[in-house]
């Protein structure tokens, strides 16, 4: 499956899918006591490692977090070198006062939005196509 570099094709075929569950971002200093399959995403920062977990996992581990989010995956296979997708989505969401956290995976882009904005975010993404 070739990754797509054509922004018009990607927007036309964006096909947002809501993933099951509620997710949170947590900052931890080590992950050795966390099962690998619980960690949906991870990035190392100076202050610690940010991990994305299902809310119930974070609660069971007593990890603090600031906001509960839904996870939307863009089904189109977009290239890591595609220019403008994150900017277009961020602008569309910002115009509607929706915060979003976009994470690029190897095959797809993933967008985390506050639960209260999920339906609106999905509708805005569908408008792009």
Over 80: is that where the pLDDT of 1 sits?
no
Confidence of residue 46 (pLDDT cuts 50, 70, 90): very high
**Looking at the whole model, is its pTM more than 0.85?**
yes
Neighbours of 70 (CB within 10 A): 21
Confidence of residue 129 (pLDDT cuts 50, 70, 90): confident
Tokens of 65: 């977090």
Report pLDDT for 38: 97
Locate all alpha helices (DSSP H) within 33-115, ordered by sequence. 55-60, 85-95
Over 80: is that where the pLDDT of 13 sits?
yes
Strands annotated E in the chain: 16-18, 23-28, 41-45, 48-54, 69-74, 101-104, 109-114
Report pLDDT for 68: 98
Confidence of residue 2 (pLDDT cuts 50, 70, 90): confident
More confident site: 129 or 100: 100
100 closest CA partner among 64, 67, 53: 67
With DSSP H G I counted as helix, E B as strand and the rest as coil, what are the percentages for the chain, rounded to 5?
Answer: 30, 30, 40
Locate all alpha helices (DSSP H) within 20-74, ordered by sequence. 55-60
């Amino acid at each position: 499956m070739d990754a797509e570099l054509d922004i018009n094709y990607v927007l036309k075929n964006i096909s947002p899918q809501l993933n099951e569950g509620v997710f949170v971002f947590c900052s931890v200093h080590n992950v050795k006591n966390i099962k690998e399959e619980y960690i949906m995403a991870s990035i190392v920062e100076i202050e610690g490692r940010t991990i994305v977990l299902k809310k119930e996992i974070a609660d069971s581990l007593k990890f603090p977090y600031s906001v509960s989010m839904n996870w939307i995956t863009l089904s189109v296979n977009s290239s890591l070198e595609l220019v403008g997708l994150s900017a277009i989505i961020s602008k569309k969401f910002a115009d509607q006062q929706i915060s979003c956290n976009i994470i690029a995976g190897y095959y797809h882009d993933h967008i985390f939005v506050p639960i209260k904005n999920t339906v609106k975010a999905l509708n805005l993404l569908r408008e792009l196509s």
